[in-house]
Amino acid sequence: MTKEQDVLALFEEVADKHGKLDVLINNAGANSAAATLLEGDLVDWKAMLDLNILGLTLSTREGVKLIESSGSKSGHIINLNSLAGHVVPKAPYGQFYSGTKHMVTALTEGLRKSVQSKNIRVTSLSPGRVETEFLGRALGKGQEAVAAEIYKKVKVLEAQDIADAIVYILTAPAHVNIDELTITPLLQEQL
If DSSP states are collapsed to H, E and C, what string results for 76-97? EEEEECCHHHCCCCCCHHHHHH
Q: Find the Cα–Cα–Cα–Cα dihedral 102, 55, 176, 113, rounded to 10°.
A: 70
Beta bridge partners of 125: 80, 181
Helix or strand holding residue 120 (H, E): strand 120-127
Q: Write out the catalytic residue numbers.
A: 97
Whether the CB-CB separation of 60 and 120 falls below 8 Å is answered with: no
Using CA atoms, how far apart are residues 133 and 143, in angstroms rounded to an integer?
11
Using CA atoms, how far apart are residues 112 and 87, in angstroms rounded to an integer?
21
